[in-house]
C-alpha cells in the first residue's frame, strides 16, 4: 500500500543553519505531496504542497521539489530560525483507491539560538 | 471561514465511560478525516468520509470505536467503553477535491483515567 517514510528526529540545528528533512514515498498513480508543520499544542498546518512531478512547493523560506524518479519530496530551508522549531510531517494524497492522505511519522526540529 | 472546528480541546473521562468527540468541517469540503496522534504511533488515520459516507474505516482500532457523519457539517467519533490506552490527541480534518490539502482542527486531547 501507499506509504511515506521520513527521516527520524529529533534534528537539532543552530540558528541560520541549513535544513534538510528527507522524505520518500511509495504510491501507485500520481499522488499529491505535502509538508505539514505542527507547533506545540496545535493542529497540523499545511506548509507547502506539490501536485505533479517536478513541481516545487515553497512557503516561508521552505522548499520541496516533487521528484518522481527518486520518489522523494525533501524539505529544505536555507537559514532556520528558532521559531521554526516544530514537528514536520511529510504526506501524500493518493490519486487512486479512495484518495486518502497518508502521513509520515514526523520529524521534530529543534533550533538553538 | 472559521476552519475545522473541534470545540472541545481537552476531554477527561473515566475508564468504561462513553466519550464522544465532535467535529465541524469547513463548509463545502466533501472529505472528512479522523486521526489519532500518540507519541508511540504518531499520526494514524482512523476513518474518512466522502460526501458523508464512510469510505475506509480500516484504521479504527476496535469495535469500541465508531464514527458517524449525519450531514455535511457535522461528524462524531465515539468510544464506548473508553480505556486508558485510548488517551491521545484526536484530530479532525477536511478537504475538498481530489488533490487538495487537508485542513486540520486544533485537536481534542482525550485522557481516560
pLDDT tens digits for range B40-79:
888 888 999 999 999 989 999 889 999 999 999 999 999 9
Residues of B in contact with A89 (CB under 8 A): 43
pLDDT at A49 over 70: yes
Residues of B in contact with A7 (CB under 8 A): none
pLDDT digits (tens, 9 = 90+) for A58-104: 999 999 999 999 999 999 999 999 999 999 999 998 777 666 788 89
Question: Residue B25 in contact with residue B33, Cβ under 8 Å?
Answer: no
Residues of A in contact with B43 (CB under 8 A): 44, 89, 103, 105-106
Interchain contact, A100 vs B45, CB within 8 Å: yes
C-alpha cell at B22: 465532535
Nearest CA in chain A to B92: A43
What is the number of CB-based contacts under 8 A between chain A and chain B?
A: 59
Integer angstrom CA distances of residue A96 from A2, A28, A32, A99, A101: 10, 7, 11, 6, 11
pLDDT digits (tens, 9 = 90+) for A26-47: 988 889 999 999 998 888 999 9
At residue B39, the 3 state secondary structure works out as coil
Amino acid at each position: 500500500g501507499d506509504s511515506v517514510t521520513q527521516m527520524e528526529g529529533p534534528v537539532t540545528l543552530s540558528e541560520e543553519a541549513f535544513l534538510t528533512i528527507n522524505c520518500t514515498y511509495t504510491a501507485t498513480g500520481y499522488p499529491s505531496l505535502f509538508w505539514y508543520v505542527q507547533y506545540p499544542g496545535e493542529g497540523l498546518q499545511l506548509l507547502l504542497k506539490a501536485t505533479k512531478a517536478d513541481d516545487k512547493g515553497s512557503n516561508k523560506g521552505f522548499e520541496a521539489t516533487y521528484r518522481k524518479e527518486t520518489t522523494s519530496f525533501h524539505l529544505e530551508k536555507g537559514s532556520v530560525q528558532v521559531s521554526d522549531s516544530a514537528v514536520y510531517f511529510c504526506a501524500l494524497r493518493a490519486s487512486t483507491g479512495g484518495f486518502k492522505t497518508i502521513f509520515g511519522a514526523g520529524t521534530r526540529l529543534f533550533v538553538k539560538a | 471561514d472559521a476552519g475545522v472546528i473541534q470545540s472541545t480541546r481537552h476531554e477527561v473521562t473515566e475508564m468504561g465511560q462513553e466519550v464522544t468527540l465532535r467535529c465541524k468541517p469547513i463548509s463545502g469540503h466533501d472529505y472528512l478525516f479522523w486521526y489519532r496522534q500518540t507519541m508511540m504511533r504518531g499520526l494514524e488515520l482512523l476513518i474518512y468520509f466522502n460526501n458523508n459516507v464512510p469510505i475506509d474505516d480500516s484504521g479504527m482500532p476496535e469495535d469500541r470505536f465508531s464514527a458517524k457523519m449525519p450531514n455535511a457539517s457535522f461528524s462524531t467519533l465515539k468510544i464506548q467503553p473508553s480505556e486508558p490506552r485510548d488517551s491521545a490527541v484526536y484530530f479532525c480534518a477536511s478537504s475538498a477535491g481530489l488533490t487538495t490539502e487537508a485542513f486540520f482542527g486544533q485537536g481534542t486531547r482525550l485522557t481516560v483515567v
